Amino acid sequence: MFELPLPLLVMTVVGIVAFAASGAIAGARAGMDWLGVSTLAAVTAIGGGTLRDLLIVTTPGWLIDFWPTVSLIAITVVVVWVAVRVFPWQRHRTWMSRFFVITDAIGLAAFTIVGTDIAHDAGFSVGPAVVLGVISGVGGGIIRDVLAGKRISIFDGEVYALAAIAGSITFLLTQSFGNWVPFLVGVAVTLTVRLGAVAAGWQVPTLPTQKPDASGA
């Protein structure tokens, strides 16, 4: 991990911590024990990157940098566990909900850009690089939602994958502006679109739910 270029290293660390926090919070909200909270934190932090690396046929990064990754996740879980014990979820729903949205958005932004950069450096063209970047950003959240027993965000009308697509494309378009600029601009665009959509209540159009008739058909 520490041999990575500095911008990529920073984004990787930020993504791991942010997504681990969102996973731990999701576990706490679901009333899980320490193992459940830790599991959700881990799969959220490494899930998207693992899917990306398997698709490009390379060893998942967390297996190579095992102890640094585990240490970051473990420290994050401990912090969230203590925070939830001090400020119980049932008494602080609004605060915890906002913290979840923010950490999830930061993880989405960081890992989308990390995934896009890795795919681009691996020789993939713009289209595949964007797809792999989005998978890197949303994959962990999908696994987290499934294990937490909640409806998957990107399939429920939320401006989530669209934010990742916007950030990934922006990152690729700003490649000629130096080392840090593409990372910072890509993250900023993803965060702006995601958090702006949440604040404004924007939703992606969804199909109406069809209720079964009295016969059960």
Sorted by where each begins, the domain ranges of the chain are: 6-200
The owner of tokens 């989530």 is 160
Tell me the helix, strand and coil percentages in the chain, rounded to 5.
Answer: 75, 0, 25
17 vs 109: CA distance, rounded Å = 12
Through-space distance between the first and last CA atoms of the chain, rounded to whole angstroms: 54
Residue 22 φ/ψ, nearest 5 degrees: -65, -40
42 vs 67: CA distance, rounded Å = 13
Q: Return per-residue pLDDT of the chain as tens, 217 residues.
A: 767 889 899 999 999 999 999 999 999 888 899 999 999 999 999 999 999 999 999 999 999 999 999 999 999 999 999 988 888 766 777 778 889 999 999 999 999 999 999 999 999 999 999 999 999 999 999 999 999 888 887 888 899 999 999 999 999 999 999 889 999 999 999 999 999 999 999 888 887 776 555 555 4
